[in-house]
A and B are shown apart, each in its own frame.
Chain A
Amino acid sequence: MEFHLEHPLSHSPLHNNFNDDTDDDETLPHSLFLVEFQHMPSSHYFHSLKSSAFLLSNRNHAISSIIQYSRKFDDPSLTYLAVNYLDRFLSSEDMPQAKPWILKLISLSCVSLSAKMRKPEMSVSHLPVEGEFFDAQMIERMENVILGALKWRMRSVTPFSFLAFFISLFELKEDPLVLKHSLKSQAIDLTFNLQHDIRFLEFKPSVIAGAALLFASFELCPLQFPCFSNRIYQCTYVNKDELMECYKAIQERDIVGENEASSETAVNVLDQQFSSCESDKSITITASSPKRRKTSTRRC
């Protein structure tokens, strides 16, 4: 069974047979709230990226490589998972002088691991990597190093894991299904986009999920926003201040995106990098403001 970002734990097709577990979405996250910090890069990582242009450019290069290598899978969740592994790995290692080919090997191995979680029937062994040749043994060795650094916690707890839970807290009057669906799909799009922006590395996955949903609700149903935010704030596991801070960061990012004044934010630097090495139309994340960027598929 494939690994799903929204359900990091469920694993077997038998799951559908559990007729007495219909309230899974409400019960499952409690354990996820307790372990989510194990699936985040360290705060040290966030601070060094902020202060070192060199490290930041390493990360941006590695993310571009991941996007490039994972393109043939056509699966945004796979790419997301690989970038999650990358951040957690880079955060656990001290490598100020990583050579470009090592970064490429790390990126490729993150894609390989993520593919094994998501699409076990497909393999990365024949992926062309421009300018470099990595044989199976090198990838395998790097996979092992990454597995060790990540302590085999490959079922990453991400913001996606919390969306259903937060949405279940909302009381919706009209068209609840349609609205829930739109809220979720907007929050999903937003979460995909936030991953590359280092400002969001410091927030817990649940905080990003809550803030992304609030942001989506402000756009879709502003009248219900106060009620939604109360609901989320009342949740025992959520720190109100962190959530506010994250929400503000999303707002700021949105404004910057709309003005398109600053092209020097991390996101845009990254975009330019893609445009220089991508000619493929299948990834349309080059132009326009970050807010309007959509990845090709919405599933996760």
Chain B
Amino acid sequence: MEKYEKLEKVGEGTYGKVYKAMEKGTGKLVALKKTRLEMDEEGIPPTALREISLLQMLSTSIYVVRLLCVEHVHQPSTKSQSTKSNLYLVFEYLDTDLKKFIDSYRKGPNPKPLEPFLIQKLMFQLCKGVAHCHSHGVLHRDLKPQNLLLVKDKELLKIADLGLGRAFTVPLKSYTHEIVTLWYRAPEVLLGSTHYSTGVDMWSVGCIFAEMVRRQALFPGDSEFQQLLHIFRLLGTPTEQQWPGVSTLRDWHVYPKWEPQDLTLAVPSLSPEGVDLLTKLLKYNPAERISAKTALDHPYFDSLDKSQF
């Protein structure tokens, strides 16, 4: 790790601290993600091995943040104790993320909405990246604006914090006790479903889409229960008819019966095609939710010059 000089802590990923650092030899900026590994006497755990090598291959897509290398630093401890070791994932460094970007439109000296064509362009790249992961059997599970990195001048979006879902189980709180955001979490996950699939990411894509249009979160819940109520108040309380099996999910309770609101009111500046795509992303029944690949062909993107991607 002597190769890198840590410059500042830039965040807490779900699985550990993230530093901005400089590669001493080249002056190149990188993001260092530090992950603690519990080693047993068998060396590097198979799950970590398989997932990091997967990350390594997924990061060949330009819509996924590039993993440059992996540094394994470990201090062998006294015998019969498990070895503590740190894994540093070295990623390309990007200047900003979608959260900061949206904030700059909301809070900056000159607040204004994001231009519709920019939202369209970012959404297309997001769907491209998610489609890439899904076609390789990988769920992200924690898509949120903070995890979408941007190259500002090129308006290029890349998905980060990906693929470590199995080796490092998703914690409710990150290990620094920062509360993991629930705002983008799909209703089936909030209701305790254990057999979820690609739909969980598509729900998050929908929430992120709405947030770009509104410049504020669509469902800003502060507990799992509040999160569900936020969703139900806008989309209506789900029924067995809409979503077969919903009332048998582990954490289902009897909720007030809200009627669905007109989604247009939540995203007034969005075009009708955009509202249609959003509606398909926020379907209650995960099986009916639009897939990333299908979304790429949605009429909302018809006016986009796709040859640039």
Seen from chain A, the residues whose Cβ lies within 8 Å of a Cβ on chain B are 1, 3, 8-12, 14-15, 17-18, 20-21, 24, 27-28, 31, 34-35, 112-113, 116-117, 120, 123, 125, 136-137, 139-140, 143-144, 147-148, 151-155
Q: How far is the CB of A275 from chain B (nearest CB, A)?
A: 33
Question: Cβ of B136: which chain A residues have Cβ within 8 Å of it?
Answer: 9-11, 28
Q: How far is the CB of B133 from chain A (nearest CB, A)?
A: 10
User: How long is the Cα–Cα vector from A154 to B67 in the complex, in angstroms?
Assistant: 14
B70: interface (CB < 8 Å): yes
Q: Do A3 and B69 form a contact, CB below 8 Å, given A9-B57, A27-B135, A125-B42?
A: no
Q: How far is the CB of B196 from chain A (nearest CB, A)?
A: 9
User: How long is the Cα–Cα vector from A140 to B76 in the complex, in angstroms?
Assistant: 10
Contact of A11 with B41 in the complex, beta carbons under 8 Å = no
Other CB < 8 Å A-B pairs besides A9-B57, A125-B41, 9 of them?
A28-B135, A112-B43, A116-B50, A117-B49, A117-B53, A120-B50, A151-B56, A151-B70, A152-B70
Residue of A nearest to B293 (CB): A20
Contact of B57 with A153 in the complex, beta carbons under 8 Å = yes
Question: Cβ of A9: which chain B residues have Cβ within 8 Å of it?
Answer: 54, 57-58, 136-137
8 contacts between A and B (CB under 8 A): A8-B57, A9-B136, A14-B137, A20-B294, A27-B135, A34-B60, A148-B70, A155-B57
Q: How far is the CB of B211 from chain A (nearest CB, A)?
A: 26
User: How long is the Cα–Cα vector from A134 to B129 in the complex, in angstroms?
Assistant: 44
Q: Do A31 and B50 form a contact, CB below 8 Å, given A10-B136, A11-B137?
A: no
The 8 closest A-B pairs by CB, nearest first: A120-B46, A140-B43, A116-B46, A15-B137, A154-B53, A10-B137, A12-B137, A9-B136
Question: Cβ of B291: which chain A residues have Cβ within 8 Å of it?
Answer: 18, 20
Q: Do A155 and B54 form a contact, CB below 8 Å, given A116-B44, A125-B42?
A: yes
B41, B57, B139, B294 — which one has the most chain A CB atoms within 10 A of its CB? B57
**How many residues does chain B have at the interface if contact means C-beta atoms less than 8 Å apart?**
34
**Contacting residue for A153 out of B46, B56, B139, CB 8 A:** B56
Mask: chain B, 288-302; 1 = CB below 8 Å from A; 0 = not:
000101100000000
Q: How far is the CB of A1 from chain B (nearest CB, A)?
A: 8
Q: How far is the CB of B4 from chain A (nearest CB, A)?
A: 15
Q: Do A14 and B56 form a contact, CB below 8 Å, given A21-B135, A116-B50, A143-B43?
A: no
Residue of B nearest to A150 (CB): B53
B61: interface (CB < 8 Å): yes
**Contacting residue for B46 out of A15, A17, A117, CB 8 A:** A117
Contact of B197 with A17 in the complex, beta carbons under 8 Å = yes
Q: How far is the CB of B205 from chain A (nearest CB, A)?
A: 16
User: How long is the Cα–Cα vector from A153 to B44 in the complex, in angstroms?
Assistant: 15
User: How long is the Cα–Cα vector from A140 to B46 in the complex, in angstroms?
Assistant: 12
B41, B136, B139, B198 — which one has the most chain A CB atoms within 10 A of its CB? B136
Q: How far is the CB of A283 from chain B (nearest CB, A)?
A: 25
In the complex, chain B residues 259-306 whose Cβ is within 8 Å of any chain A Cβ: 291, 293-294
B138: interface (CB < 8 Å): yes
Question: Cβ of A8: which chain B residues have Cβ within 8 Å of it?
Answer: 57
Q: Do A11 and B138 form a contact, CB below 8 Å, given A136-B41, A147-B44, A151-B69?
A: yes
Residue of A nearest to B76 (CB): A137
User: How long is the Cα–Cα vector from A137 to B56 in the complex, in angstroms?
Assistant: 26
B134: interface (CB < 8 Å): yes
Total number of residue pairs linking A and B with CB closer than 8 Å: 104
Seen from chain B, the residues whose Cβ lies within 8 Å of a Cβ on chain A are 39, 41-44, 46-47, 49-54, 56-58, 60-61, 69-70, 72, 74, 76, 134-139, 197-198, 291, 293-294
Q: How far is the CB of B252 from chain A (nearest CB, A)?
A: 22
Question: Cβ of A123: which chain B residues have Cβ within 8 Å of it?
Answer: 42
Q: How far is the CB of A181 from chain B (nearest CB, A)?
A: 24
Q: How far is the CB of A113 from chain B (nearest CB, A)?
A: 7
Contact of A17 with B198 in the complex, beta carbons under 8 Å = yes
Q: Do A11 and B60 form a contact, CB below 8 Å, given A20-B293, A140-B44, A143-B44?
A: no
B54, B61, B70, B197 — which one has the most chain A CB atoms within 10 A of its CB? B54
Contact of A21 with B43 in the complex, beta carbons under 8 Å = no
Q: How far is the CB of B127 from chain A (nearest CB, A)?
A: 13
Q: Do A152 and B42 form a contact, CB below 8 Å, given A28-B135, A120-B47?
A: no
Contact of B56 with A136 in the complex, beta carbons under 8 Å = no
User: How long is the Cα–Cα vector from A245 to B56 in the complex, in angstroms?
Assistant: 32
**Contacting residue for B60 out of A15, A31, A112, A144, CB 8 A:** A31
User: How long is the Cα–Cα vector from A71 to B54 in the complex, in angstroms?
Assistant: 27
**Contacting residue for B134 out of A18, A28, A31, CB 8 A:** A18
Contact of B41 with A18 in the complex, beta carbons under 8 Å = no
Contact of B43 with A136 in the complex, beta carbons under 8 Å = yes
User: How long is the Cα–Cα vector from A148 to B73 in the complex, in angstroms?
Assistant: 11
Q: How far is the CB of A114 from chain B (nearest CB, A)?
A: 10
Question: Cβ of A31: which chain B residues have Cβ within 8 Å of it?
Answer: 57, 60-61
Question: Cβ of B134: which chain A residues have Cβ within 8 Å of it?
Answer: 18, 21
**Contacting residue for B50 out of A117, A125, A144, CB 8 A:** A117
User: How long is the Cα–Cα vector from A64 to B72 in the complex, in angstroms?
Assistant: 30
Contact of A113 with B135 in the complex, beta carbons under 8 Å = no
Q: How far is the CB of A26 from chain B (nearest CB, A)?
A: 11
Residue of A nearest to B48 (CB): A116
Question: Cβ of A112: which chain B residues have Cβ within 8 Å of it?
Answer: 43
Contact of A35 with B137 in the complex, beta carbons under 8 Å = no
Q: How far is the CB of B57 from chain A (nearest CB, A)?
A: 5
Q: Do A14 and B69 form a contact, CB below 8 Å, given A125-B41, A152-B56, A153-B57?
A: no
User: How long is the Cα–Cα vector from A143 to B53 in the complex, in angstroms?
Assistant: 14
Question: Cβ of A15: which chain B residues have Cβ within 8 Å of it?
Answer: 137
User: How long is the Cα–Cα vector from A112 to B41 in the complex, in angstroms?
Assistant: 13
